[in-house]
Amino acid sequence: YRRVRFPVVLALTGYPGMAGGLVHRLGLPDVAARLLAARQIRPTVFVMLGVSPLMPLDTECTDIPAGPQVESFLAQDVPRAIQQTFRVTASPAGWGVIGYSTGGYCATKLAMMYPDRFSAAVSMAGYYQAYRGQFVPNLWGGSLAYRHENSPDWRLLHLPAPPVSVLVTSSKVGERSLPGTLAFLREIHPPMRGYSLIIPQGGHNFQTWSRELVPSLEWLSRRLI
């Protein structure tokens, strides 16, 4: 691979959560290594991150007015650091993001707001409206317009759809976010493309997300070049 520039996937935790949860509870490195050995995914650089770099603040991956600029950190600073350190592609066609729960919301939001950086996202049991983060009393600086900008639902209904692909996962029984997930799918229109993985039963937990991980990584790998 000495002349290869690798695709990159940002992997985001839920809230509260540390990057170790992606390793020890979701098993992302082991699953990816197994799929790579079986040639079910391409060699990829996985960047595993806690969704809130300033715990216990629940920033919802937002550039908080007069506060932490977490959206910019994830969408600009981290990719810049990865490109400067590793032999990875600079094209958005080779960058994706995956997350569970709050990380799923963040994955969708980042891809939709930064199609010049990411071309694909996987939201595992995510949500699609901008909620006030825990321990952050003024997440949007009191601006309803800024709150709307951080809502994937609102963006699809009021702004041009970005040219990205999104896979959403949920469960028919046991996952409270299912109605919001189905509503978001119905809102997707070209050039954005939506895909779904709805399993029969499973709660909002690592056991369920682990069942969804293999098809999610395979889906991402097919779309990143």
Give the DSSP per-residue string, 85-103.
Answer: HS-B--SGGGEEEEEETHH
Pair of tokens at residue 148: 């709307």
The whole-model pTM stands at 0.96
- Tens-place pLDDT, residues 5-33: 999 999 999 998 889 999 999 999 999 99
pLDDT at 105 (0 to 100): 97
Name the pLDDT band for 129 (thresholds 50, 70, 90). very high
Over the Cα atoms of the chain, what is R_g? 16
Q: What is the pLDDT of residues 46-80, one digit of tens each?
A: 999 999 888 888 999 999 999 999 999 999 999 99
Per the structure block, which two tokens stand in for 175? 């996952």
Please report, rounded to a whole number, the percentage of residues in the chain having pLDDT higher than 90.
Answer: 88
pLDDT, one tens digit per residue, over 77-106 is 999 999 999 999 999 999 999 999 999 999
- Residues 133 and 106 sit within 8 Å (Cβ to Cβ): no
